[in-house]
Amino acid sequence: MSEPLWDEATFIAKLRAIGGNSYHDKHPFHLVMNEGKLSPGAIRGWVANRFYYQINIPIKDAAILSNCPLRDVRRQWIDRIIEHDGTQGNEGGIEAWLRLGEACGVTREEMLESRNVIPAVRFAVDAYVTFCRTKPWPVAVASSLTELFAPDLMARRLEAFKTRYEWVQPWGFDYFNRRLTKARQDSDCAIKLTLAYCNTPELQQAAVDALAFKCDLLWAILDGIAGKFPAE
């Protein structure tokens, strides 16, 4: 006998429990960052390596689109690619992260050429793109639900950078400010699609597993960065 379909409240609770237990806001590297205890070298190492994740976000979203046969869903999801890649007159999240790098003392060329990307980060990010390319599109959508927990982390990060890393130029904080509101909008879209299209017991469990996978992946990225750029 197969497991019964969860009702909406139970499904949401199971998804939120994953983030409550495993989201990378609890990683020691982030905790030390928010306490203002990272060296400039560690901050620059994090910014440069995180950029590899940033430039792959629209690639994984394009992979999700390529697997989705539903026009209405594609019309909603494509906004994520535009948000990160930008358009004429609105350069998007990738450009905003490049400015963050420059504000920290990391050149655009270093980031665009992935000069300082460590193998652990490259492996984890590439695994995420492969996951979204090869899994059913509703499951890949569910993996993005780490956005449910991102605004609180982003608010703490922005406050830490403003008050504890005064050597970072404040004109570089645009990415953080953008995500305070955009992450909520994105997570609202993703949770609605997950609830609507993960509509069998198997897909519901796959969605929960996908979110757990994404949390583990983000944690692994920070493990790699912390090992290469320890706090001083």
What does 77-98 look like in DSSP terms, one character per residue? HHHHHHHHH-BTTB-HHHHHHH
Query: What pLDDT is recorded for position 2?
Result: 65
Burial of 179 (0-12, 13-18, 19+ CB in 10 A): buried
Please tell me the number of Cα atoms within 13 Å of 50 on its side-chain side.
21
Query: What pLDDT is recorded for position 148?
Result: 93
Burial of 211 (0-12, 13-18, 19+ CB in 10 A): buried
Query: What pLDDT is recorded for position 231?
Result: 75
Query: What pLDDT is recorded for position 88?
Result: 79
The H-assigned helical ranges of 105-147 are 108-112, 119-134, 137-143
Locate the domains of the chain by residue range: 8-226
Query: What pLDDT is recorded for position 232?
Result: 65
For 191, the token pair is 């949770």
d(CA 173, CA 100): 6
Chunked into runs of 10 residues, the chain (232 residues) has average pLDDT values of 86 96 95 95 97 97 98 97 90 95 96 96 98 98 95 92 96 92 92 98 98 97 94 70
Residue 40: closest CA among 121, 112, 97, 105: 105
CATH of domain 8-226: 1.20.910.10
